[in-house]
Amino acid sequence: MTQVAQAYQPFTRNNIHTLPQFQRLDAETQHLIRVTSAVFPFRTNRYVADELIDWENVPRDPIYQLTFPQRGMLNDADFRKVSHLIETGASRQQMQDTVHAIRLRHNPHPAGQMEYNVPRLDGEMLNGIQHKYDETVLFFPSRGQTCHAYCSYCFRWPQFVHMDDLKFAAKEADGLVRYLRLHTEVTDVLLTGGDPMIMTAKALETYILPLLTPELAHIQTIRIGTKAVAYWPQRFVSDPDADDLLRLFEAIRASGRHVAIMAHYSHHREMSTPIAQEAVRRLRNAGCEIRTQAPLMRHINNRAEVWANIWQNAVTMGMIPYYMFVSRDTGPKRYFEVPLVEALRIFRQAYTQVSGLGRTVRGPVMSATPGKVHIQGTAHVAGEKAFVLSFLQGRDPDWAGRPFFARFDPEATWFTDLRPLADKPHFFYKAETISA
């Protein structure tokens, strides 16, 4: 059982050799971890290693696949190239140049985040802020741009690999506050990262308290996107300032705002430990609503029973199932991706196994450039088999809830793989409005 007083201890590529479980892996596996983690970010901790991974089932164990680099995340040519540089003791500059070139081929910022989502104020781009949908602004506090452990499939991996020109981060909340004063249509602010829960309560306060003033009364909800509920639940239970953190959430509630914890659970095992369950209980007692979400990923959770367990456990613990996402077209997507038709099958099979309280979940959903695209099912339209789609959110609010169709493609894994029906030149929104 987890020791309540356990101190957070990160393991990265630089010190993973000191983790006892890593030392027991064979030399080939240790080498592939070193090679792949030279390209994609890697970070874990003792709680994940000791409590969540079944080391007798490595490498098939889903939490091991979720947190440790895998050979298939790089193609053969790139793997051999990086492996050779490591084995021959290449210079740091050689390694950096090679790795950077590989990273750029992996679509480091999908869905037009840099091009379309970053707003301007007084003619200047507001780094660390994204505003894609009218009601919601995303804020990336600079001190929250790491995590207690990294997901191997993370779509925000450029935040963690020194690609500074592609990184979202804001040192202070001043720009956010000035922007929100002018945009009274915004009701929700989502603090994201990285993981804001890596910050101390005092640091988090500096970003949140300025949002609770009367002049920003239109801000009704503070959302916090976090994986700490799964990777480091001690953050809400036994960390030195855990009580201070919960008091901050209580202060948000006292200001008349709503607190929504957007909890990232990729597998039901992450909910199973006593301290993980205690973290949820304490958050709920502090007045937080917790919504669960994650992408569907091969090797990790591409079975209906896994998702049914996630949703059933969430409801039992007082959380709200929210989203099943489709893996984004970035990073090591080819290793993790699942065809859309398979994602739809898994979602439906899991959906039938839960009660109405679990059917708050929406999926499969693609966070694509035009908006959040919901795959509702398949149908025959004018004699042609088609995917039935709709926008849950769109860059144009009028797109939301409007059904549209795409040619059925059993190989498609992302929105850009889909094409309009044969008699349509493009989907209902104008092609020049936004590229898919």
With 60 as the cut, is the pLDDT of residue 118 above it? yes
The distance from CA 32 to its chain's CA centroid, rounded to whole angstroms, is 24
* First-to-last C-alpha distance (Å) of the chain: 48
**DSSP class of 74:** S
**Of all helices (H) and strands (E), which one includes residue 253?**
helix 242-254
Q: What pLDDT score was predicted for residue 435?
A: 45
279 closest CA partner among 263, 268, 300, 266: 263
Q: How deeply is 380 buried, as exposed, middle or buried, from its count of CB atoms within 10 A (0-12, 13-18, 19+)?
A: exposed
Q: What pLDDT score was predicted for residue 7?
A: 83
Q: Answer yes or no: is 279 within a domain.
A: no
Amino acid, res. 112:
G
With 50 as the cut, is the pLDDT of residue 75 above it? yes
Per-residue pLDDT tens for 361-405?
999 999 999 999 999 999 999 899 999 999 999 999 999 999 999
Q: What pLDDT score was predicted for residue 423?
A: 78
Q: What pLDDT score was predicted for residue 126?
A: 86
Per-residue pLDDT tens for 239-276?
999 999 999 999 999 999 999 999 999 999 999 999 99
Lowest mean pLDDT: which of 92-101, 217-226, 230-239, 262-271? 92-101
407 closest CA partner among 393, 422, 392: 422
Place of tokens 């490498």: 59
Lowest mean pLDDT: which of 49-63, 257-271, 332-346, 415-429? 415-429
**pLDDT band at residue 425 using 50, 70 and 90 as cut-offs:** confident
Q: Answer yes or no: is 182 within a domain.
A: no
Neighbours of 92 (CB within 10 A): 7
**pLDDT band at residue 432 using 50, 70 and 90 as cut-offs:** very low
Q: Answer yes or no: is 40 within a domain.
A: yes
36 closest CA partner among 90, 91, 103: 103
For the chain, what is the radius of gyration of the CA atoms? 22
25 is in which domain, residue-wise? 10-104
Q: What pLDDT score was predicted for residue 52?
A: 98
303 HSE (CA, 13 A, CB side): 8
**Of all helices (H) and strands (E), which one includes residue 67?**
helix 62-67
**DSSP class of 209:** G
Per-residue pLDDT tens for 3-47?
445 789 899 999 999 999 999 999 999 999 999 999 998 999 999
- Mean pLDDT computed over 81-87: 97
Q: Answer yes or no: is 76 within a domain.
A: yes
Neighbours of 294 (CB within 10 A): 25
Q: Answer yes or no: is 401 within a domain.
A: no
Q: Answer yes or no: is 17 within a domain.
A: yes
278 closest CA partner among 316, 315, 237: 237
Domain count, the chain: 1
Q: Collapse the DSSP code of 399 into the 3-class scheme (helix H, G, I; strand E, B; otherwise coil) and give the result.
A: helix
Q: Collapse the DSSP code of 373 into the 3-class scheme (helix H, G, I; strand E, B; otherwise coil) and give the result.
A: strand
**Helix 201-208 vs helix 242-254: angle between axes, to the nearest 10 degrees?**
20
CA distance 394 to 360: 20
CB proximity list for 139: less than 8 A, separation 6 or greater:
128, 129, 170, 173, 176, 189, 190, 191, 192, 207
Q: Answer yes or no: is 142 within a domain.
A: no
Per-residue pLDDT tens for 275-299?
999 999 999 999 999 999 999 999 9
- Mean pLDDT computed over 122-133: 88
387 closest CA partner among 404, 366, 399, 411: 404
